[in-house]
Structure 1
Amino acid sequence: MKGKKFENNIHYSVVRNSLGVYTNYICSLFKSKTSYMGVKYKEYQIKKINGSVNVIFIMGESANFQHMSLYGYERDTTPFLKSLVHSDQFKYYHGVSRGFSTRIGVPLTLNVIQEPDNVEQLLSLQTNLFHLAKKNGYKTFYLSNQKSGVLASLVNSREIDEFHDVFSKKIPQDTQHDTRLIDSLNQFNIINKSKEPFFIVLHQRNHHFAYQDNYPNQYHVYKKSLNENEKLIDTYDNSMRFQDDFIKKLIQMVDNVNHKPILVVYTSDHGELFGEKGLWGHGAPVLNSAGVPIFIYANASAKTWINNTNLPDQCALGNYHLGKFIARALGWDIKNPNESKNFYVNINLPYDEVDGYKKFTLSEVEKELCHHTE
Structure 2
Amino acid sequence: MTLFQTLRLQSDVLRDAGAITPVMLTALTTAFVFCIDNGTFWSIASDVFSGHALSFAGYMLAVFSLTLALFSLFAFPWSVKPFLIFIVILSAVTSYYVDQLGVIIDRDMIQNVMVTTLAESRHLITPDFVIHVLVRGILPALVIAWVRIRRHGRIRTALVPVLTCVTSLALAAGLLMADLKSYSSILRERKDFMSSYQPGAPVVGAIRYAKMMSRTANVVVTRIGTDATRGASYAAKGKPLLTIVVAGETARAQNFSLNGYGVDTNPELAKRPVVNFGNVSSCGTATAVSLPCMFSKYTRADYSYEKGIATENVLDVIRHAGLNVVWWDNNTGDKGIGKRIATRSFTDAQDPQYCDAGECMDGVFMDALETFADTITQDTVLVLHQMGSHGPTYYLRYPPEFERFKPACNTAEFKSCTPQEITNAYDNTIAYTDHILARTIDLLAAQDRLSTALLYVSDHGESLGESGLYLHGSPYFMAPEYQTQVPMILWMSGSFKDRFGIDQTCLAGQTDKALSHDNLFHSLLGMLDIRTVERNDDLNIFASCKTKQKVAANEG
> Which residue number corresponds to residue 122 of structure 1?
308
State whether structure 2 residue 403 is matched by structure 1 residue 220: yes
Q: 1:240 to 1:115 in 2, by over 3 A?
A: closer
Matches within 5 A, 1:169-184: 169=349, 172=351, 174-176=353-355, 177-184=361-368
SS state at 1:303 partner: helix
SS state at 1:79 partner: coil
Given that 1:90 and 1:298 are in contact with CA atoms closer than 8 Å, whether structure 2 keeps it comes out as no
Give unpaired runs (5+ residues) of structure 2. Answer: 1-105, 118-209, 235-240, 356-360, 410-416, 540-556
Structure 2 distance, partners of 1:113, 1:70, is: 29
Given that 1:106 and 1:269 are in contact with CA atoms closer than 8 Å, whether structure 2 keeps it comes out as yes
Matches within 5 A, 1:113-152: 113-114=298-299, 116-118=301-303, 122-126=308-312, 128-148=313-333, 151=335
Given that 1:54 and 1:329 are in contact with CA atoms closer than 8 Å, whether structure 2 keeps it comes out as no
Q: 1:335 to 1:318 in 2, by over 3 A?
A: farther
Q: 1:306 to 1:102 in 2, by over 3 A?
A: farther
- 1:241 partner letter: A
- Report how far residue 103 of structure 1 moved: 0.6
Structure 2 distance, partners of 1:59, 1:6, is: 19
Partner of residue 429 from structure 2, selected from 234, 239, 256? 239
- Report how far residue 184 of structure 1 moved: 2.0
- Report how far residue 306 of structure 1 moved: 6.3
Q: 1:184 to 1:306 in 2, by over 3 A?
A: farther
Q: How many residues align?
A: 302
Higher helix fraction: Structure 1 or Structure 2?
A: 2
Structure 1 distance, partners of 2:513, 2:372, is: 33
- 1:301 partner letter: S
> Which residue number corresponds to residue 201 of structure 1?
383
Given that 1:139 and 1:199 are in contact with CA atoms closer than 8 Å, whether structure 2 keeps it comes out as yes
- Report how far residue 199 of structure 1 moved: 0.9
- Report Cα offsets for 1:202-250 as digits up to 9, x if no partner: 1111201111011000011111379611100010111111111111110
- 2:369 partner letter: L
> Which residue number corresponds to residue 256 of structure 1?
446
SS state at 1:270 partner: coil
> Which residue number corresponds to residue 127 of structure 2?
none
> Which residue number corresponds to residue 103 of structure 1?
288
- 1:295 partner letter: I
Structure 2 distance, partners of 1:337, 1:258, is: 31
Deviates most, 268-277 or 296-305: 268-277
SS state at 1:215 partner: coil
Structure 2 distance, partners of 1:141, 1:45, is: 19
> Which residue number corresponds to residue 163 of structure 1?
344
- Report how far residue 320 of structure 1 moved: 1.8
Structure 2 distance, partners of 1:264, 1:338, is: 22
- Report how far residue 59 of structure 1 moved: 0.6
State whether structure 2 residue 497 is matched by structure 1 residue 303: yes
- Report how far residue 340 of structure 1 moved: 8.7
Q: 1:109 to 1:212 in 2, by over 3 A?
A: same
> Which residue number corresponds to residue 66 of structure 1?
254
**Which structure has the larger Rg?**
2
- Report how far residue 316 of structure 1 moved: 2.3
> Which residue number corresponds to residue 370 of structure 1?
none
- 1:293 partner letter: P
Structure 2 distance, partners of 1:73, 1:291, is: 13
- Report how far residue 279 of structure 1 moved: 2.8
- 1:244 partner letter: D
- 2:436 partner letter: F
Structure 2 distance, partners of 1:339, 1:100, is: 26
- Report how far residue 96 of structure 1 moved: 1.0
Structure 1 distance, partners of 2:280, 2:380, is: 25
RMSD value, Cα? 3.6
- Report how far residue 93 of structure 1 moved: 3.3
Given that 2:295 and 2:520 are in contact with CA atoms closer than 8 Å, whether structure 1 keeps it comes out as no
- Report how far residue 260 of structure 1 moved: 2.0
Structure 1 distance, partners of 2:322, 2:484, is: 33
Given that 2:243 and 2:453 are in contact with CA atoms closer than 8 Å, whether structure 1 keeps it comes out as yes
Q: 1:235 to 1:194 in 2, by over 3 A?
A: same
- 1:195 partner letter: T
> Which residue number corresponds to residue 523 of structure 2?
325
Partner of residue 267 from structure 1, selected from 438, 457, 467? 457
Structure 2 distance, partners of 1:156, 1:237, is: 30
> Which residue number corresponds to residue 487 of structure 2?
293
- Report Cα offsets for 1:9-34 as digits up to 9, x if no partner: 8x9xxxxxxxxxxxxxxx97xx9x99
- 1:179 partner letter: G
Q: Percent identity?
A: 21
Structure 1 distance, partners of 2:111, 2:331, is: 21
> Which residue number corresponds to residue 18 of structure 1?
none
- 2:513 partner letter: C
Structure 1 distance, partners of 2:527, 2:330, is: 25
Given that 2:327 and 2:341 are in contact with CA atoms closer than 8 Å, whether structure 1 keeps it comes out as yes
Given that 2:248 and 2:385 are in contact with CA atoms closer than 8 Å, whether structure 1 keeps it comes out as yes
- Report how far residue 300 of structure 1 moved: 1.9
Structure 2 distance, partners of 1:194, 1:251, is: 17
Give unpaired runs (5+ residues) of structure 1. Answer: 12-26, 38-42, 342-374
Q: 1:337 to 1:258 in 2, by over 3 A?
A: closer
Q: 1:60 to 1:118 in 2, by over 3 A?
A: closer
SS state at 2:268 partner: helix
Structure 2 distance, partners of 1:121, 1:139, is: 25
- 2:487 partner letter: P
TM-score with structure 1 setting the length = 0.69
> Which residue number corresponds to residue 281 of structure 1?
471
Structure 1 distance, partners of 2:469, 2:537, is: 31
